[in-house]
Structure formats: C-alpha cells, structure tokens
Structure 1
Amino acid sequence: MKIHHLNCGCMCPIGGSLFDGFSRGLTAHLVCHCLLIETDRGLVLIDTGFGMQDIQSPTSRLSPFFIAFNNIQFDRKYTAIHQIQQLGFSASDVRHIVLTHLDFDHAGGLEDFPEATVHVMQAEMDAARDRHGFITSRRYRSQQWDEVKHWKFYESGGEPWFGFKAVRDLDGLPPEILLIPLVGHTRGHAGVAIDTPQGWLLHAGDAYFYRHEMDAANRRCTPGLRAYQWMMEVDRASRLLNQDRLHALSVDRAKDVNLFCSHDAIELKAFAHKPSSSHN
C-alpha cells in the first residue's frame, strides 16, 4: 500500500494569519488535503477537493457566497484528476472514493472519476438531500454528484476503533480502510482510518481545522477558523466532544495513530515530506 498526500484545492480567505496562523499578507492559505492510496484493488481516493467542472464553470457548480467568502483559487493543477495523471495513472484507475462528507470542497471532483464507487455515510447523503437553511443549501451542491453512478452508503456501528465507533469491511475496499463517524460538522461527517505498517493514519476531515487544536498542551485555534467552524457546525455539542476525543487520541496514542485535518497547510506539508508518507 502506497499513500500519496495531495492538495486538491486552494482557498485564500481574507484575514491572513487570523485564519491560518502563519500568512503575513492579507489572505490566508488553506488547502484541501486528500489521499490517494495505491492498493491491490486499484486506486482509492479519500475526498476529492474541487473538480475539473468546478474549475471550468464555478458559478454553475458552487455557491457565490462560498466562492467569495473562501476566495477559492480555481486552477486545474489543484484537481485530483490532474495530479493523478501526473503520477502516471488515469481516471479509470480510481476504483473507489471514500468521502469524509459531501461539502462542496470535498466532493467537487467526484464526476472526474465516473467508474469509481463512492462510499459515504447514509446520514450524510440524507442531510445533503434535505437542504434547508442558508448554509445547508449552499454547502451541499448536488451538481457535483448528480452523475455519480455507483454509491455505497453506511450506518454507524461495528467493532470500536480506539474507543470510536467504526464502519469496517467497506464494500470492495481493503480491510485496512475504515470509516470513523465524527458527527458535528455535518450530520454524517466521518474520518477515514488507514492501517499501515507504520501505524494508523486518520484523515479527520473537518472534525477540526487547525493543527494546534491537537496540541498536547495549550490547545488553541485561530479566530477565523474558530468562527468558520461555528458557522458550519450542525451539532455543536457533538463537534466539540469529538474534537476532545480526537485530542485525547492524538496525545494518548501518539505512537499508534497519526491524524490530520483537511485544511491545514502546515499539516499537509509535514505529511507530504515524511519518508513514511509512502506507507509501503
């Protein structure tokens, strides 16, 4: 199993370090941290970021509110399909896509891989189909997945994973890949855990947004990302509880589990440059 860490989106909201904690200019730098996993069953993509159709026709696919608020940078070099082709693969090599959730910045590239089976929690699709309210109607964009032909939906439960509920034996996927329900940001939000020879890797999606939220001491978040999490949450109590549980996991089981979120550029850089990022 070989794992590639990809950046499948670039968002530069006004606020600089008030969002990302490091930018010196007016705008911040947020990424869409996705994974491409080479397995003996074909390629598996964890989240997709933005897709080619988003780049080519953003206003017909995405909410003008989020285009402006996030200052999304539309460049094909950030798409998963472009990066996968640069690695020498084709769209048809991607057999499975596992989603943390269906937000516009996680599911935009689904239709770039028409033969792939898309795996997501049933509660997430239910939420995406029940689009009421200002944020909900703009975060879920059915234009991004209305041509998907193969879906697999899952319910929460199964043998626990480090005290978390887990969905094991995802249809057609290697047993090393699990869904870990982490409700709060959305109704069906989940992390994706991968068992590797170096230990577990957990893509926590949007269960947290900022690297220092997982610090052993002096946990903190930038004002901009704290406000964004508040704006996007659907269940504050569950979101905060799951953040606390992830923090405990990152501290207590640091030798067993490496975790990261979707949008922190510093985390992405660290994982992409680790020798263990290949997870051979």
Structure 2
Amino acid sequence: MKVHHLNCGTMRPFGGRLVDGLGSVFRRAELVCHVLLLETERDGLVLVDTGLGLADVRTPAATLPARFRHAARPVCDERETAVRRVEALGFAASDVRHVALTHLDVDHAGGVLDFPSARVHVLREELDDSANPRYSPAQWRGADLVPHDPTGEAWFGFEGVRELLPDVLLVPLVGHTRGHTGVAVRAGGRWLLHAGDAYFFHGELEAAPHVPPVLGAFERVMQTVAHRRVENLGRLRELVRDHGAGVDVFCAHDAADLRGRSSRPERAIGRPREPENP
C-alpha cells in the first residue's frame, strides 16, 4: 500500500503561538486538514477524511457555519481540496472507492460529495448524532453513507476495533464527538494512526504534555464526551510511549505533524508552508 499525506484545507486563525505554538502572538496561526490517500491493491483509492470540499471553498457561506469561518479563517483555495489533490497525482475522482471519516465536522467531511463513486464509512453513533448543529449536512447529503458499529477486536489496548478493509482499521476514539474514530493503516511494515481530532497538538502526546492555551481551550469547548476524550488521549500517550517504533500517531490539524512526515517513507503532498516570521 502506498500512502500520501495531503493538506486539504489550510486555516489561519488569529493568535499565533497561542494557537500553533510558533512565533509571535500577532501572526496568523497555521492549521491544516491532514488527509490520507491510500493506494490499495484490491480496493482502489481510499481517503481518510476529506478536509474542505469544492462547495466549501467556492461558496463558503452555503456550507461552512459562520462560527467556523470566523474562528478558523479557512483559506478556501480550490487547489487544496482533496479532489484537486487526487487529480494532481494523476487519478480521477471516480478512482476513489472508499472514504473513511474520523467524524462529520465540517473540516473533515467537506469533500465527500466530490467523490460520488465512493462509499463513505462512519461510526453509527456519529450518524445518529448527525442533526447536531456543529455539522453541515449539505456536505454529505445524498452520499453513500455506510454506518459501522464500534465492535471488534483489541488493538494495542484499544477495544472495539473494526477492520474496514484489509490493513485499514477503524479505532474508536470517542470524545471529541460521540462517534469519533481514528483510522489505522498498515503500510511499510508499521502502522499509521490518523487520530482525527482526538487531540489537536503534537505536544499532547509527549511525556510532559502541553498544548498552546487558546488551542487547548478550543479543544475543550468542542469536546462532546469530556471523560472519554481524556481517557482516549491517555491511551494514545501510552501507545506512543510503549509502541512508538511500530505505530506512527498523528492528528488532523497540526501543521507540524504533516510537515514532519515529509521525510518519512510515505509521500507528503501539499505540505503546509514554513511558518511566517512574526
């Protein structure tokens, strides 16, 4: 399996280092929508999350809630959408046969309708909560949504892990939303774990956890099941501590997580720009 790391939506909120930990508080921070594109031998192309879609960047007010636009300050560059990234690699949108969503937030599910041939996989409880005002049903209404129950085997201390496709697993990480899941991919003799929004900043997995204050506050505001988020974050720390050599864990919006994978065996496409000077 070949894995591409894609940036499918840059966001530039105010706050600088209070948000992304870099530079001055007066610069615009940089967040990304970290998406995986998997080239599988049997199941065609698979996307893990879709970032912002064509409709989002062309007419943001129609699909992106005002509170998201004002807080996140998305760049809305069509070249960063998943479908344009896929095309830039020489594929067609119809080559994408599956989309695995970590959850339905607008910066994760925005590109779903750009891939009409794909089955869209999501945990059942996430779909059951789809009327939540944090979501934008216009982003995925009419898609081939496939619900999955969080039942299955144990995987590195996580329970209810379900095989979605060969070497692609759904790893429930409830907390940020009611049906939030990570997606684990086995490639190159090790596992990659896209942890979605189970945490927002790479420092949260370190031995002495830390997160920029504004980003940490936003993380708490957006959590749906607080105690489950905290429990799963603790399990992720243990996973990195005990199995970091065999499992590479990263989250959805940390530009450093995406930038750091440019030197890995997987290919990084559309990496975020280097941080601006203060």
TM-score normalised per structure 1 = 0.92
Question: Partners of 1:275 and 1:202 in 2: how far apart?
Answer: 14
Matches within 5 A, 1:111-122: 111-122=113-124
Where 1:36 maps in the other structure, the secondary structure is strand
The reply to whether residue 222 of structure 1 matches residue 217 of structure 2 is no
The reply to whether residue 144 of structure 1 matches residue 139 of structure 2 is yes
Q: Which amino acid aligns with 2:263?
A: K
Question: Partners of 2:147 and 2:257 in 1: how far apart?
Answer: 29
Where 1:234 maps in the other structure, the secondary structure is coil
> Which residue of the partner structure matches residue 91 of structure 1?
93
> Which residue of the partner structure matches residue 11 of structure 1?
11
How much has 1:198 moved relative to structure 2? 3.0
Segments of 5+ residues of structure 1 without an aligned counterpart are 132-136
Matches within 5 A, 1:1-280: 1-24=1-24, 25-40=26-41, 41-129=43-131, 131=132, 137=133, 139-148=134-143, 150-170=144-164, 173=165, 175-215=166-206, 217-271=207-261, 273-278=262-267
> Which residue of the partner structure matches residue 274 of structure 2?
none
Q: Which amino acid aligns with 1:277?
A: E
Question: Partners of 1:35 and 1:201 in 2: how far apart?
Answer: 10
Once superposed, what is the RMSD of the aligned Cα atoms? 1.3
Segments of 5+ residues of structure 2 without an aligned counterpart are 269-278
Q: Is the 8 A contact 2:2 2:187 kept in 1?
A: no
Q: Is the 8 A contact 1:155 1:167 kept in 2?
A: no
Q: Give aligned-pair identity as a percent.
A: 47
Q: Which amino acid aligns with 1:60?
A: A
Question: Partners of 1:43 and 1:230 in 2: how far apart?
Answer: 34
Where 2:36 maps in the other structure, the secondary structure is strand
Q: Which amino acid aligns with 1:157?
A: T
Where 1:200 maps in the other structure, the secondary structure is strand
Question: Partners of 2:168 and 2:162 in 1: how far apart?
Answer: 7
Q: Deviations over 1:114-158 (max 9, x none)?
A: 1100000000011113x2xxxxx1x2000001121x221111121
Question: Partners of 2:93 and 2:251 in 1: how far apart?
Answer: 25
Q: Is the 8 A contact 2:150 2:162 kept in 1?
A: no
> Which residue of the partner structure matches residue 134 of structure 1?
none
Provide the aligned length of Structure 1 versus Structure 2: 266
Question: Partners of 1:184 and 1:10 in 2: how far apart?
Answer: 24
Runs of 4 or more, structure 1, over 4 Å off, are: none
TM-score normalised per structure 2 = 0.93
How much has 1:256 moved relative to structure 2? 1.5
Q: Is the 8 A contact 2:119 2:145 kept in 1?
A: yes
How much has 1:278 moved relative to structure 2? 4.6
